[in-house]
Structure 1
Amino acid sequence: SVTTGRPSLSPLPQKTIWDAKPYTGSTFSSGNSGLTAASSVRPSSSYSSPSTSSGIVRSPFGSTSSTASSSVERYNLRDQKGYVLIFHHKHFKNAKAIREGSEKDLQLLKHIFTKYRVKKPDICENYTVLRIKDKMRKIAEKDFSKYSCLLVIVMSHGETKDRIQAYDTLYNFEQEVVERVLTNTTLKDKPKLFFIQACKGSATMQHDVTSVATNKNDMLKCYSTYEGTVSLRDTSLGTYFIQTLFTLIDEQGDKDVADLMILTRKRFKDDKVPQAPTDTSTLTKKFYFRDLK
């Protein structure tokens, strides 16, 4: 049955496991290290903001701005349907890597999106890398002029550097999914939201990916966890990230999606879940899920 509320997060049950990379060679690995560290960087004390007696701050880069902030617009989601693309990975070539409980996340997503003005979710289950590439080639060529937005949800094992586990091997999410979406000119100026449920820790090897020079405005990427750390999944209830965030979306869709991510992190903190969802945004307007109802 569909989970209608967020899972009981504290204390963590013994059946809670990681959405880590499932194997290295023929060896199954169920966990990752969670080491993340950064040095504090402070701006140079020699710089002082230029200003005038009129109260207008003059930027050293040439633009001027009044001390009063202008209101932020909202994306128009009321006139057209949204498009939802879901990559759900439960089974893998390595049978030991099965993601027990992930079907609960898919059930929740199906249930929630029946309440919204979106095209029936385009669900891709247990795809190989070649099938993912072929699907994204079609998405890159699809005419989205009759849609208000694109939502992409990925649920699988993962590693650092945006690498996601397909049925057979790893692929680079930024390169194979995000960049493909950004090349579609019919999605220009429309919000493109990506939600990734996967670990981001303990890679055995890393590759630098040269990013294509695409327009990266009007995009939001939400990750279930911080770079270098694991992501929790309950084998009976589903993942903490998908269950918490999308229940909040369902219950409080009148809030901007950025605020919903803050609420998600707060719930994780309050429930002492050792995981910190993150997001990267280039959205230029507010995004309210309620506008899709």
Structure 2
Amino acid sequence: MQSMVTGEGRGLSQATPRAGNPSPAMQSGPLQLKVRRASQPTPPDQNVYDTTYDPRGLVLILNYREFKDRPDLLRKGSQYDVINLQNLFCQMGYETQIHWDLTEDQTLNTVSAFKNQERLQYTGCAIIVVMSHGIARQTFHTSDMQCITVEKILSMFLNSECVYLKGKPKIFLFNFCRGTDIAHVQTDAVRETPKDILCIYSAPEGFVSYRYEEKGTPFIISWCQVLSENAHNMSLDDLLRKFKKVYSSVGHGITPDIQDLNFAKVFYFNPRT
């Protein structure tokens, strides 16, 4: 049996056969997740974020699978990442909002609408997942083959731009390759210090991340497995240590890149009982 693995960067879309059977953790199709729930939610205090709300948090998932006039960039298998994430977060007591194949304008409008929801006042956190092809260290493609920088997305969640999440944790998962910068791509200057933001990238700068056509990406698969089994009694710091180990073992040696932007307190997912 051969497992087809694909790079998540522009120009890296040709699948490469890898011999051998996938490990039990990497079987085809969506994961069969069963979230272990927290018997007693960790209460908030001055050092712990409050995730005892109902819902625990709101999750925005942006998946870019198809790209205009570029059938060679089709992200086969990415549908399994969406299924796995939705299953995970719904079982944990988080509400998900899922969008597929948005253009640049649609993406920015969708993120803006998400961060301006009054409902965010009554939830514990926001989680934003972006899955696409990367074209530079912090830039990804939208489905109309335009580019958006990570800085542009993060700037929309600064305290001055997102008052409903002021003081609340904001976790970003960026699942795309991170190659070298491209000269014509401009970054967006951030003049305000980001706070309570944690970014988790599927690869360090200069590295590719991988996707299996028949089961999704090792990054999302590992994330969902680790959280479903351990989020009931582990802080995010402990979960990330475990996640790094699992991801490295199935992701061809790639480790996640974690960027802490004044993520000042201890975070617990507190899967709902």
Matches of 1:107 and 1:29, distance apart in 2: 22
Matches of 2:182 and 2:192, distance apart in 1: 29
Matches of 2:243 and 2:105, distance apart in 1: 33
Aligned 8 A contact 1:139 1:180 in 2: no
Letter in 2 for 1:194: F
Letter in 1 for 2:51: L
After TM superposition, the structure 1 = structure 2 runs for residues 176-195 of structure 1, keeping only pairs within 5 Å, are: 176-182=152-158, 183-195=161-173
Query: Who is 2:223 aligned against?
Result: 245
Matches of 2:88 and 2:75, distance apart in 1: 21
Give the CA deviation at 1:216.
Answer: 1.0
**TM-score w.r.t. structure 2 length?**
0.79
Q: What's the CA shift string for 1:50-101, capped at 9, x where partnerless?
A: xxxxxxxxxxxxxxxxxxxxx9822111134211100011111112210111
1:256 aligns with 2:235: yes
Q: What's the CA shift string for 1:144-186, capped at 9, x where partnerless?
A: 2112100001111112231111101232332332111221111
Residue from 200, 206, 213 that aligns with 1:235: 213
CA gap 1:30/1:214 in 2 versus in 1, 3 angstroms: farther
Query: Who is 1:285 aligned against?
Result: 265
Residue from 36, 48, 52 that aligns with 1:78: 52
CA gap 1:89/1:20 in 2 versus in 1, 3 angstroms: same
After TM superposition, the structure 1 = structure 2 runs for residues 48-59 of structure 1, keeping only pairs within 5 Å, are: none
Q: Secondary structure at the match of 1:148?
A: coil
Give the CA deviation at 1:220.
Answer: 0.4
Matches of 2:78 and 2:248, distance apart in 1: 23
Aligned 8 A contact 1:149 1:191 in 2: yes
Matches of 1:292 and 1:205, distance apart in 2: 46
1:20 aligns with 2:19: no
The number of equivalent residue pairs is 237
Aligned 8 A contact 2:149 2:188 in 1: no
Q: Secondary structure at the match of 1:112?
A: helix
Query: Who is 2:146 aligned against?
Result: 170
Matches of 1:198 and 1:257, distance apart in 2: 22
Matches of 1:76 and 1:170, distance apart in 2: 37
Q: Secondary structure at the match of 2:125?
A: strand
Matches of 1:206 and 1:75, distance apart in 2: 40
Runs of 4+ in 1 over 3 A off after TM superposition: 28-31, 202-208, 268-272
1:273 aligns with 2:252: yes
Consecutive unaligned residues of structure 2, counting only runs of 5 or more, are: 16-44
Query: Who is 2:99 aligned against?
Result: 124
What is the percentage of aligned positions where both structures have the same residue? 23
* RMSD (CA atoms): 2.4
1:223 aligns with 2:201: yes
Residue from 109, 116, 137 that aligns with 1:141: 116
Aligned 8 A contact 1:72 1:286 in 2: no
Matches of 1:92 and 1:222, distance apart in 2: 24
Letter in 2 for 1:86: I
CA gap 1:269/1:136 in 2 versus in 1, 3 angstroms: closer
CA gap 1:283/1:204 in 2 versus in 1, 3 angstroms: closer
Give the CA deviation at 1:141.
Answer: 2.9
Matches of 1:29 and 1:116, distance apart in 2: 34
Give the CA deviation at 1:29.
Answer: 5.5
Matches of 2:72 and 2:181, distance apart in 1: 19
Letter in 2 for 1:79: Y
